[in-house]
Chain A
Amino acid sequence: METRSRKPTRAPSIILAEFTSSHAVLHAAEKVHEAGYVRWDAHTPFPVHGMDRAMGLKDSRLGWIVISFALTGLTGAFVMMHWMNGIDYPTIVGDKPAGAPGTLPSMVPILFELTILLSAFGAVLGMFFLNRLPQHNHAVFESDRFRLASDDRFFISIEAEDPKFDVDVTRALLEEVHAHHVEVIEEDVS
Chain B
Amino acid sequence: MAYWEPIRELDEQPLVEPGSKLREVTHDIASVSERPAPRGWWICFLIALTFTGIFTVCVAYLFYRGVGVWGNTSPVYWAWDITNFVWWVGIGHAGTLISAILFIFRQKWRTAINRFAEGMTIFAVICALIFPGIHVGRPWLLFYVFPLPNQMTLWPNFKSPLLWDVFAVGTYFTVSLLFWYTGLIPDLATLRDRSLTKWRQRIYGFFALGWRGSNRHWRHYERAYLILAAISTPLVLSVHSVVSMDFATSVIPGWHTTIFPPYFVAGAIFSGFAMVETVLLIARSVFNLKRVVLMRHLELMNKFLLLTSLLVGYAYAMEFFMAWYSGNQYEMAHFLVNRPTGPYWWAWVWMVVPNCVIPQLYWFKRMRTSIPVMFVVSIFINIGMWFERFVIIVSSLNRDFLPSSWGLFRPTIIDVGVFTGTIGVFFTLFLLFMRWLPMVSMTEVKGTMPQADPHYSPKGAHPEEEDEHDPLPIIDETPMPSTGGLVPEGAE
Contact = CB atoms under 8 A, between A and B. Distances in A.
Interface of A: 1, 3-4, 19-24, 26, 29, 41-52, 55, 57, 60, 62-63, 66, 80-81, 84-85, 88-89, 91, 93-94, 96, 103, 106-107, 109-110, 112-114, 116-117, 119-121, 123-124, 126-128, 130-131, 133-138, 140-144, 146-152, 155, 178, 180, 187-188
B227 A119 contact: yes
**Would you list the 6 A-B pairs with minimal beta carbon distance, nearest first?**
A141-B485, A152-B22, A134-B209, A127-B224, A84-B155, A20-B467
Contacts of A96: 159
Nearest to B174: A117
B246 to A, nearest CB: 11
B452 A22 contact: yes
Interface string B193-211: 1100000000001100111
A120 B175 contact: yes
A58 to B, nearest CB: 9
A48 B210 contact: no
Given A44-B215, A85-B159, A120-B175, A152 B21 contact: yes
B26 interface: yes
A133 B211 contact: yes
Contact of A116 (B21, B194, B235): B235
Interface of B: 21-23, 26, 147, 153-161, 163-164, 167-168, 170-171, 174-175, 178-179, 181-182, 186, 189-190, 192-194, 205-206, 209-224, 227-228, 231-232, 234-235, 238, 242, 245, 442-444, 446-447, 451-457, 463-465, 467-468, 470, 475, 480, 482-488, 490-492
A46 B443 contact: yes
B211 to A, nearest CB: 7
A142 B484 contact: yes
Contacts of A137: 210, 485-488, 491
B342 to A, nearest CB: 31
Contacts of A187: 492
Contacts of B174: 117, 120
A46 B446 contact: yes
Contacts of A112: 234, 238
A49 B454 contact: yes
Contacts of B179: 120
B219 A85 contact: no
Identify which of B21, B192, B215, B219 gathers the most chain A CB atoms within 10 Å of its CB: B215
A103 B159 contact: yes
Contact of B186 (A88, A135, A150, A188): A150
B454 A50 contact: yes
A57 B444 CA distance: 22
Contacts of B453: 22, 49
B210 A133 contact: yes
Contacts of B189: 150
Given A84-B155, A138-B210, A46 B171 contact: no
Contacts of A134: 209-210
A45 B492 contact: no
Contacts of A133: 209-211, 217
Nearest to B222: A47
B447 A46 contact: yes
A1 B482 contact: yes
A121 B178 CA distance: 8
A57 B470 contact: no
Given A62-B223, A91-B155, A136-B206, A49 B452 contact: yes
